[in-house]
Structure 1
Amino acid sequence: MLGTTFQRKLAHCIVFRAALSCRRSKSNRSLHFFPGENSDLRGDGAFRRNQPLGSTMELAYAGVLSFLRRNYTRNLQNVDVAVTGIPLDLATTYRPGTRFGPKGIREASTQLPDLKSYPGGIDLFEDLAVIDYGDCWFDASQPMTIPKAIENHAKEIIDRNVFLLSLGGDHYVSYPLLKAHAAKYGKQLSLLQFDAHCDTWPNPHEDSLNHGSMFYYAVREGLVDPNSSIQVGIRTFNDDFMGVKVLDASWVHGHSVDETVQEILGRIGNNPTYLTFDIDCLDPAFAPGTGTPVCGGLSTAQAIEIVRRLGSLNFIGMDIVEVSPPFDHASITSLAAATLAYQFLLLLRNKKILSKTFPFVAKSVQ
């Protein structure tokens, strides 16, 4: 009896999936927006798609793992956004495993492009050319060479006027990424940081790899302007926040999403802005798979609603870090990270539509 019931449910699922595919193929705004080769592809678009724009039909549980099923390539021609992984966890102070973060986020992302975005009903890739650039390579046996390797990896992308979205890796990776972006867009960048920790703790060893001190150095070196920077979700103590404004988790919980967004926008203004999202900004109930979880954080819903309202900011780069799949459950942390990155890409898509050009980021100093 149990087997019969299972078979009946399985048959219903197959019929529903087939009907859904049929409706998509008949729709004037189906998942296949481009004529020619791409419109006929079924599966593995990451290496079979012949251009960075457009979507292809995929099985969420099968095929090549690229972020959001985008082309897995190092060809930056006609590309708006490159997504890259930085699989580092040498700078952790508690639980390791963030070296598996990029792979985990990619795997969780495979279900997201199957349908148009909610609530807008937008196919992100009709208008925004996104690729998966693969991972930054470095020699883990030579840790002092890693920061420069990450910085150079970022530069080879952003120097081509391609927007960079990086997947960590522990939070230290933001430091060489900020160096690369400051070289392109000038120092005194605004930092928008979602985090449980301020990461401005002083460290006497300037060459150390530590995921709790990199913004201390970033402010001190002038990479970041503390007077136009803000941290959201903080719930750990520090004697000195280096002049960066803090909206701690208790404040966010006590105010509306719109009030939180207004504080962010008012602090940053139109300054070139780097967004870093440490997944431990979320409460462990929503993101258990991270290296240093802290109770009392934001919900995934809160974070998504805040990010959705940040479209007026002058973003020049983004990373999402500290996802540790070995400590995750049912991939909910990886899925949260992938979803937040997807929401950010929707912001970039909307900015491109409004500006009629890309890149639309701050003027380069080069």
Structure 2
Amino acid sequence: MTAPRYSGLATFMRAPIAEALEGIDIAMLGIPYDGALTNRPGARHGPREVRNQSSLMRSINHATRIDPYALCSVADVGDVAFTSAFDIEASHRQIEAFVADVAAAGALPLSCGGDHSVSLPILRALAKEPVALLHIDAHTDTWDSFQGSKFNHGAPFRRAHEEGLIDPKKTVQIGIRGAQNVSEGWDYSQSSGMRVMFIEEVRAKGIPAIVDEARAVLGNGPVYLTFDIDSIDPAFAPGTGTPEIAGLTTAEALDLIRGFRHLDYIGADVVEVSPPFDVGGITALTAATVMYEILCVLAEVRAASART
């Protein structure tokens, strides 16, 4: 961490590259896949550019004073290697197998995608029972089939609900916005029991109140955190597939993550960074910073569980 930040191989947060999974507390991995997109492509390039921008991260969080590297063994375990990138379901099976290996080794996975469809196979690998879902996004991603595919990036949490991977009564979707041609996704989330917090509610209530209510919904059981970069306003994060204006500011996004400390996390992901649509690397830098904040939260939880 003390080497010049412009030197060496680009890994997530300049963490060491893992030779094996054993002995790792938090495994950061890339999922360079965007075969399930419905709009602008390029999220397959996200992990590489987020790694590059994450070279700017340092050790100690100025707000929480968490040093994840002092608390845990943290490593970059590389990318999911795809052999059937044109087959969504086959690619999802490869993601599931990779994450299952990480979990079997006792590590918490922190993933960087990739389109949002990758959250479904991650949940398949991790959720042994219906888990709570903390979902920060512009979209509910509970639509159904698109162009003949039930596994597009607008549908992962509908499929996860159908498969019994998430508990809808313990699911919170924060920052939802953007006009739609049909209300199907919003309707499905709300009718199934998910708590949908549209951006207008977030603005009216403020981050502390949103955090308090969301924590009450999530409860004390296992939680999975998924963060779509399009939850952030495109003024701060233009490089994404489905940008929606009037989103979270970067400050609000970090306050949200810091507000969700001490939950029983089983893993997390940051998705939908599309470098071809980025401007000066600002979206990848934002994603790297969000990923670092999540790393701090995961490390604090992992270290606390090791002490008990």
**TM-score, normalising length: structure 2:** 0.92
For structure 2, the 5+ residue unaligned runs are: none
Residues 25 and 302 of structure 2 are in contact (CA less than 8 Å); yes or no, is this contact kept in structure 1?
no
Q: Which amino acid counterpart does residue 294 of structure 1 have in structure 2?
A: E
Q: Is 1:126 matched up with 2:76?
A: no
- For residues 159 and 46 of structure 2, the distance between their equivalents in structure 1, rounded to whole angstroms, comes to 24
Aligned residue number for residue 17 of structure 1: none
- Which residue pairs with 2:30 in the alignment? 85
Q: Do residues 280 (structure 1) and 222 (structure 2) align? A: no
Which whole-Å CA distance do the structure 1 matches of 2:86 and 2:304 have between them?
46
Aligned partner (choices 288, 294, 306) of residue 256 of structure 2: 306
**2:60 match:** 116
Q: Secondary structure of the equivalent of 1:211?
A: coil
Q: Distance in 2 between matches of 1:144 and 1:312?
A: 34
State how far apart, in whole Å, the 2-side matches of 1:296 and 1:151 are.
34
Q: Give me the whole-angstrom Cα distance separating, in 2, the residues matched to 1:155 and 1:250.
A: 38
Report the Cα offset of residue 61 of structure 1.
Answer: 2.0
Distance 1:73 1:355, change over 3 A: closer
Corresponding residue number in structure 2 for 1:224: 166
Counterpart in the other structure of 2:106: 161
Give 1 or 2 for the bigger CA radius of gyration: 1
Structural mapping, 1:327-346, within 5 Å: 327-346=277-296
In the alignment, is the contact (CA less than 8 A) between 1:97 and 1:326 conserved in 2?
yes
5+ residue gaps, structure 1, are 1-55, 361-366
Pair 1:315-2:256 in alignment:
no
The secondary structure found in structure 2 opposite 1:225 is strand
CA deviations on 1:206-239 (whole Å, 9 max, x unpaired) are 9643001111111111111100111000014433
Please give the per-residue CA displacement for 1:126-183, whole angstroms capped at 9, x wherever unaligned.
221110000001121444411111100110100111100010000000010110011x
Deviation string 1:304-357 (CA, Å, 9 cap, x unpaired) is 011012112111110110000111112111111111111111112322444444
Amino acid at match of 1:240: Y
2:169 aligns to what SS in structure 1? helix
**Aligned-residue offset at 1:121:** 4.3
Higher strand residue share = 2
1:280-305 Cα offsets, whole Å, 9 max, x none, are 00011111000000011101100101
Are positions 1:197 and 2:139 aligned together?
Answer: yes
* 1:244 corresponding residue in structure 2: 194
Structure 1 contact 76–160 (Cα < 8 Å) conserved = yes
- Asked if 2 retains the 8 angstrom alpha-carbon contact of 1:325 and 1:334, the reply is yes
Identity of aligned residues (%): 40
Q: Give the number of the structure with larger relative contact order, counting CA–CA contacts within 8 Å between residues 6 or more apart.
A: 2
**Contact 2:263–2:301 (CA<8 Å) still a contact in 1?**
no
SS in 2 for 1:161: coil
TM-superposed CA distance for 1:205, in Å, is 8.5
Cα offset, 1:256, TM superposition: 2.2
The correspondence of residues 1-40 of structure 1 with structure 2, limited to 5 A, is: none
C-alpha separation in 2, matches of 1:145 and 1:120: 40
Cα distance, 1:204–1:304 mapped onto 2, change above 3 Å: closer
Classify the secondary structure of the residue corresponding to 2:188.
coil
The correspondence of residues 253-268 of structure 1 with structure 2, limited to 5 A, is 253-268=203-218
Q: TM-score, normalised by structure 1?
A: 0.78
Work out which of the residue numbers 4, 8, 18 in structure 2 matches 1:73.
Answer: 18
Count of residue correspondences: 299
Of 77, 90, 93, 1:148 maps to 93
Task: Give the 3 Å change call, closer, same or farther, for CA 207–118 of structure 1 in structure 2.
Answer: same
CA-atom RMSD in angstroms? 1.8
Distance in 2, matches of 1:197 and 1:239, equals 12
